[in-house]
Amino acid sequence: MPRRHALRPRPRPRRRPATPPGGHRTSLGLNTRDPERKFQHGRALPSLARIARTLQDDGTRPDPLLALTTFNLAIGNTDAHAKNISVLRHADGTVRLAPAYDVSMHLHHPHASRVFAMDVAGERDMDALTGEHLVAEGASWGLPRRRAHRVVSQTLEALADALVAVDRSAHPRRRPARVAHRGAAHAGPAAKLPDA
């Protein structure tokens, strides 16, 4: 490694733009000083529709967002809030949904909230959400219902196939009855998916 000459001035670090009053803001314009603001809970923002519009405004299909939302609901990830969904902006100006991150199953815990972080077609109660809600949410973004249905169906089928491929002997169950019951509650969207 080359040695730095003692008299040579060090490069100045780049200055970041000033932080707006009230804290940092996300790409959705949310003030992150309030930790609860990342959850929709009936408010206009943040919303899945706004994230879908961000993708669409830059010429990207929102299908992956619907697939991610379907996956999060199917596994019981109640913490899929606005800060856990990101959009990547490339140098050429194109955007795409970032790979999934901070994804975990929460409903296996007996004291877990049964409220999804974002509204799906106006619903956020995990026990009430169905495949129809997912299709309706996608349709509200402008997706044709048939395409929204296909995205939801294919996501649930891929998840079911992946679960079949799991080596159960490498992951022994500690409480089979509880796991089966909680899992059944969230196989619901697949069972309740309407015909296209």
pLDDT band at 45 (very low <50, low <70, confident <90, very high): low
In SS3 terms, the chain reads as CCCCCCCCCCCCCCCCCCCCCCCCECCCCCECCCHHHHCCCCCCCCCHHHHHHHHHHCCCCCHHHHHHHHHHHHHCCCCCCHHHCCEEECCCCCEEECCCCCCCCCCCCCCCCCEEEEEECCEEECCCCCHHHHHHHHHHCCCCHHHHHHHHHHHHHHHHHHHHCCCHHHCCCCCHHHHHHHHHHCCHHHHCCCCC
More confident: 18 or 59: 59
More confident: 6 or 79: 79
Whether residue 191 has pLDDT greater than 80? no
Catalytic residue chosen out of the listed positions 34, 79, 119, 167: 79
Q: Is 125 a catalytic residue?
A: no
Please indicate, yes or no, whether the overall pTM of this predicted structure exceeds 0.85: no
Nearest CA to 134 out of 80, 58, 55 is that of: 80
For residue range 128-175, list pLDDT tens digits in order: 999 999 999 999 999 999 999 999 999 999 999 999 998 888 876 654
For residue range 49-87, list pLDDT tens digits in order: 988 998 898 889 999 999 999 999 999 888 777 777 888
For residue range 113-126, list pLDDT tens digits in order: 888 888 899 998 98
